[in-house]
A and B are shown apart, each in its own frame.
Chain A
């Protein structure tokens, strides 16, 4: 393996990574009214982390983002089950969601829905599973 210097890719990454992560957050939050949602948002976030992995290497990325992706998957499943089982405390069937309108000083009229928390669980599970698969294959000799 010859010594290479990929400074163009590293400089481009610094500009692009911000936009990819911002786009994935946008597509996650817009999922209720527009195309998108937790699945595609999680896939785009893991795409950004894959771009980091391609530019640097596994050890550097593990130092930048010290995350165990199996725990992320477990947290996502906990979010999904928690928001589904939370409805049982209010004497309504499993997976019943609720929403309300909240008036906040800066943001104005917000419609907050518990389905967003369920979607956040989907997001975490997708990021965790995708990154576990890719890192496990990448660490293999």
Chain B
């Protein structure tokens, strides 16, 4: 029973990722693409959790936190680039 439910959930996550990838390709502005990529990262976390249930393994639980942190850092870096044109400033108080 749980197996079928997890397969259906995986299918739903894959469909959501397809919709997000459509937004990444088609998105009219850069921020649309950035937000779509951030949501792809969140979907990837969900898919990793479901796959680790399917495989009866707890070896992927570190990966979930890793994807979350990396998606956050990437989105912050993109947002700062879009706002200021530079990711790492030399001196912000001059």
Chain A residues with CB under 8 A of B3: none
Contact B73 A50 (CB under 8 A): yes
For the complex, would chain A's binding face be called helix, strand, loop or mixed by DSSP majority? helix
Chain B residues with CB under 8 A of A139: 90
Please count the residue pairs between chain A and chain B whose beta carbons lie under 8 angstroms apart in the complex: 55
Contact A47 B92 (CB under 8 A): no
Interface residue tally for chain B (C-beta within 8 Å)? 22
CA distance in complex: A60, B83 (Å): 20
Q: Is A23 close to B, CB under 8 A?
A: yes
Contact B59 A35 (CB under 8 A): yes
Contact B77 A54 (CB under 8 A): yes
Interface residue tally for chain A (C-beta within 8 Å)? 28
Q: Is A9 close to B, CB under 8 A?
A: yes
Contact A54 B88 (CB under 8 A): yes
Chain A residues with CB under 8 A of B62: 27, 34-36
Chain A residues with CB under 8 A of B87: 54, 138
Q: Is A59 close to B, CB under 8 A?
A: yes
Q: Is A58 close to B, CB under 8 A?
A: yes
